[in-house]
Structure 1
């Protein structure tokens, strides 16, 4: 089969989305049941953390967020709908625009104008929940639209998104905002290209003219109102309706009037956009490796496969931050709320990133640019290869080019550089190993903070034990299986007691999580009494916020490296490890205690098996000389 290449279309036509959604003659009422559906994951999860109402300033409440995602996805299972998720990757073009946006995010984060942005690990939590539920997904190297359309064409099913570009493909498209997740049935509205064309009595080439002339990424709003006689008296907000009406007549004549009134340079832009849209409108789809991966769960690697990097991204072996790192030699820092008097919180994990970069670039000696926060501004740092991990004999030019099929000891080399014996990790539960390695790295690179370390470890013990308890209940057994290598297990009774004793530390500062979820039910005067983001941030200790973000970067990058190296260690599952609110609250409490460890021992005295698990982690850390 000959593969037809189409250019990814990135459009901005102001008013088109509401025009389609509010037009009763364009969308059809539809029920999703007993079918497949392809979901634009970038779009689907874009504001889901914010919608959940959980706290985001003190680090993610990832355990609660994971449950929120699971609940959201239940409706698909209930209606026998099989969803397939495709995520966006790095930036193939417009990297400077992304960098400019990052610069703005840094400034906004410091003054708490970041309503949409999610906590650092929230996207990875979405992957991990999909893994847990056995749902299929893949990650595009760059933009995901073409892959989404290819998969939808292969499955002959609709796409769920909220992106006007899908109106220009011959696939059925369900705007996300039309779906009713509440009832027993998944009611929604569906857009069909042929119905849209028939309703407006225009051919496909006319729709390409429409998209090219009104795309504000090419021509500013109102550009043609000043140039075309037919639009001079038309207010810009009516352009969509009027242009569609004009295209019912002589499309060629209208198109020529456009070309007659613009410069040669703009003619070229118009024709290129028109041609791209025609390709999309007539696209038949391609059976790509990503489509096969999603459908069959396997990736075929040729010998020294030239597409090894794209396939590594697709399968999740190569983390999304590594795409810009390798393709553009650029790494963006933190834009989270943190202590502006300290260095960018992502800088602490640069050694991990540099080692991954060296492996992916075959130690070619190149530098990459780290764009990071500097106060409330940004700066650029060239990161060299002057790091302690030298090239190993096992690092060959074909290191990852034949795929990830066998275990490699490359991660163990990093552990040895940290003076951590891989065999010592066998003392820990499997799901604690990457977490504890990250903790050791974090503590050695940063400033020792006993209260913060204890808070992290106890949070892990409680969340991982809770997950074990729920897993056991799912298979109708009674006891928890959170067991160390030495055989110590936590009992259900002890977990329930520990949960009761520590409940207040899981409560968001100012009780804002519950307030946000109930916000729409509050009366106006009650809403005015609820603490604002700006008021809250002044109450929070930014030093502790900084530590949380620093650790999350260390944990994420350690997980990315572990996955890249195809190790024997299972990945760290974030929603069974960290709840930022708990860590923040308990760390604040422990800093007020003369003897933090004694405080925890007393706190958990009525839950001895939970305390034992916690103390085993403490002993492990003391053995690695990171606690006194």
Structure 2
């Protein structure tokens, strides 16, 4: 959620509010979405998401926690609450603007790919980390669980400066593991430490590291920690007043514009010349709250708003305060932690705000009667130091007032407050098998589109998967009163703006049965418009290994509905999947040429090349699984050597920025959208196929560079066989076999289509040569006749440039 300006204020005054801390031998509650964003910031997402790299980074991080004997409990965000939609719309516009003007070489603003959170969950499963997806936002649940476990919270959300927990900002956590020795005589810590692990290495898998904890030493991660007493003690403020302080600063639920008149009556004198405007407001509010009780402060605040908004604001303040002191924890029961709490040295005081609410309401009712006619009881302000919302750039919001939004979302709020999904659906949500938007589709009948790196001149790349989303919506409302449509919040084509579209649920002859373990027949309805749907699924079930069955379903769907799909796309994707899933399972995934040559010496590579000359290996009637089994380690090393440059931004791309094509990325973004929705539909249908492992099939940088490499090749198979995989025949057989399996169902893969493509290229080349020759002859004639050429009407600069070159070539020919 976040409290505006508080993170910056604490960071600026870190020596007052943050304490050095060693993280080890304890539990920790992790805000999963916040941590995922922090870990992804170091990864370039301009090409659509390097999911394999992110997967290893997350595994490395939890491997470090494991070595420090830290047990993590990860909580993930669920759906949006209706009162947050105004903020969601504003942030969506910001994301669209950031992506539209993205510089792939200097990413000042991080952008996060569409399936980042799903890959984060893949990593948690691999590392055996306990996690749960909350129904709505996870902040209150995180704090409640941390108080029950008496352990710190790891996040980067300023709300935790207000919650009564030990808070470790993830930005201040060193991604290194240190060892500290303990003297055996008296147990005192020796003032020395040894750096065991350098900064996270995205090429290794640290998650399987065995804990080598010894009695004479311990391992830890250095960090900074905060406790609520730090802020309260520094400002002489009661801890119970801090939730009200956070609400006054403004968060995603209550915007500060409602407090505009109140701020005019708060003195801004001596708030620090070097502070920002929001920093001055923080100092002034803390000083003002020192002299108030909870009830008196609330009444003075409410007296400065319009009469028709008083009760609304009172409810918002009450709800906001109760969120900060919530003690109910669904995760505590979900993880089965009743008898597993560790001893902790962290001391917590029991929040008393909840117990005082009834008393406050009683006092407030008396004061309301006395102050109804009063408009202002606050202090007089120094107008020169006033901070208003008009000149605060950090607090620009939509023009709708909070009261207008509340009226607008009244029906949705009543639905979300009574959200009680059936047990089968609740289990899938809590276990993270379904993405967070599922709750929005049920409670708000709304889907908030995630913008991707794409060509903004074209239709939204996520539009291709809307039919799958309609199927998901239909299933979700099978056990609810029938809903005809849902709203789809997405970008406007060619503009940095958003709009709502409406899509209907599907009228299907087959009814969804939640009691059936695997709704295979229902899942097949995504291909109901295909003439050969039965043949498609027969091929999938009988020919394709289970781990990539759904991937092939996604490719066939992509080929049918995409306007950009071609043989280069599918070839690039299959090569990427082979490298990430097969190569990386045989040889350690190394993407950097220097590190690769350090591990596999150039002399060793040369010896392998000489001893492993290309031998013709016929796949014959081999299956895909048999082809995988036949691949040797030497073949993988030699193939990896050829693929290394495809994982990094080329020098040509850095020097010639025009080589960066959003059109190419747009096609792969469509595929990502299909995978995102198919995984959700597959999970809802009881997983008739294993879900696609995103980290083993998509690396945006590799896909882009492979496409750029293959697009100019008249015969892709020949190039792959004789150049990329010239010394890896079994890997090529796997690639060719997968193409052959897809060929009957994808038109552009047929031999006829390939021959037509080659023929078309030859015809275009011949026409181009004839046109250049004709222009050359005409220019020669004009030069000989002494005539001057007039300006052409087409205004094509490129043709002008070609004509100029032709003239020079003519002059050169005349000299010869």
Bin of the TM-score, shorter chain as denominator length: 0.7 to 0.9
Equivalent of residue 173 in structure 1, options 146, 167, 171: 167
Matches within 5 A, 1:215-254: 215=250, 217-220=254-257, 224-228=262-266, 230-231=267-268, 234=271, 236=277, 237-249=279-291, 251=293
- Whether contact under 8 Å (2:627, 2:734) holds in the other structure is no
Q: Which has the higher contact order (CA 8 A, sep 6+)?
A: 1
Equivalent of residue 352 in structure 1, options 445, 450, 468: 468
1:116 equivalenced with 2:97 (yes/no): no
Separation in 1, partners of 2:478, 2:59: 39
1:459 equivalenced with 2:579 (yes/no): no
Equivalent of residue 547 in structure 2, options 426, 431, 438: 431
Separation in 2, partners of 1:307, 1:587: 45
Shift of 1:287: 4.0
Q: Secondary structure at the match of 2:21?
A: strand
Q: Give a deviation string over 1:595-617, Cα, whole Å, max 9, x none.
A: 11221121213101111111121
Shift of 1:241: 3.2
Q: Structure 2 vs 1, CA of residues 265 and 76 (structure 1 numbering), >3 Å: closer, same or farther?
A: farther
1:371 equivalenced with 2:361 (yes/no): no
- Structure 1 counterpart of 2:520: 409
Separation in 1, partners of 2:37, 2:628: 41
Separation in 1, partners of 2:230, 2:97: 45
Separation in 1, partners of 2:574, 2:422: 43
- Structure 2 counterpart of 1:504: 645
Shift of 1:111: 2.4
Q: Secondary structure at the match of 1:558?
A: helix
- What is the TM-score when the length of structure 2 is the normalising length? 0.64
- Structure 2 counterpart of 1:26: 17
Equivalent of residue 616 in structure 1, options 737, 751, 762: 737
- Whether contact under 8 Å (2:462, 2:670) holds in the other structure is yes
Q: Give a deviation string over 1:195-251, Cα, whole Å, max 9, x none.
A: 5434443323433443343336443487545213x4467565334334434444454
Shift of 1:546: 1.0
Shift of 1:409: 2.2
Separation in 2, partners of 1:254, 1:122: 43
- Whether contact under 8 Å (2:29, 2:145) holds in the other structure is yes
Q: Give a deviation string over 1:116-141, Cα, whole Å, max 9, x none.
A: 22122222211111111111111122
Equivalent of residue 329 in structure 1, options 422, 434, 445: 445
Separation in 1, partners of 2:681, 2:518: 13
Shift of 1:465: 0.8
Larger radius of gyration: 2
- Structure 2 counterpart of 1:300: none
Structure 1 stretch displaced more, 559-568 or 436-445: 559-568
Structure 1 stretch displaced more, 203-212 or 541-550: 203-212
Structure 1 stretch displaced more, 10-19 or 322-331: 10-19
Structure 1 stretch displaced more, 543-552 or 323-332: 323-332
Unmatched tracts of structure 2, length 5 or more: 179-219, 339-419, 590-621, 751-816
Matches within 5 A, 1:182-197: 182-184=176-178, 185-197=220-232
Shift of 1:406: 3.1
1:362 equivalenced with 2:478 (yes/no): yes
Unmatched tracts of structure 1, length 5 or more: 1-9, 298-303, 473-481, 513-529
Q: Structure 2 vs 1, CA of residues 580 and 30 (structure 1 numbering), >3 Å: closer, same or farther?
A: same
Q: Structure 2 vs 1, CA of residues 277 and 383 (structure 1 numbering), >3 Å: closer, same or farther?
A: closer
Separation in 2, partners of 1:487, 1:44: 39
Size of the alignment, in residue pairs?
569
- Whether contact under 8 Å (1:563, 1:571) holds in the other structure is yes
Separation in 1, partners of 2:270, 2:329: 47
- What is the TM-score when the length of structure 1 is the normalising length? 0.81
Q: Structure 2 vs 1, CA of residues 169 and 181 (structure 1 numbering), >3 Å: closer, same or farther?
A: same
- Whether contact under 8 Å (1:427, 1:485) holds in the other structure is no
- Structure 2 counterpart of 1:589: 709
Q: Structure 2 vs 1, CA of residues 557 and 623 (structure 1 numbering), >3 Å: closer, same or farther?
A: same
Separation in 1, partners of 2:713, 2:78: 45
Q: Give a deviation string over 1:480-519, Cα, whole Å, max 9, x none.
A: xx9844465211111111111222222224489xxxxxxx
- Whether contact under 8 Å (1:369, 1:383) holds in the other structure is yes
1:598 equivalenced with 2:718 (yes/no): yes
Shift of 1:64: 1.9
- Structure 2 counterpart of 1:320: 436
Structure 1 stretch displaced more, 597-606 or 265-274: 265-274
1:211 equivalenced with 2:246 (yes/no): yes
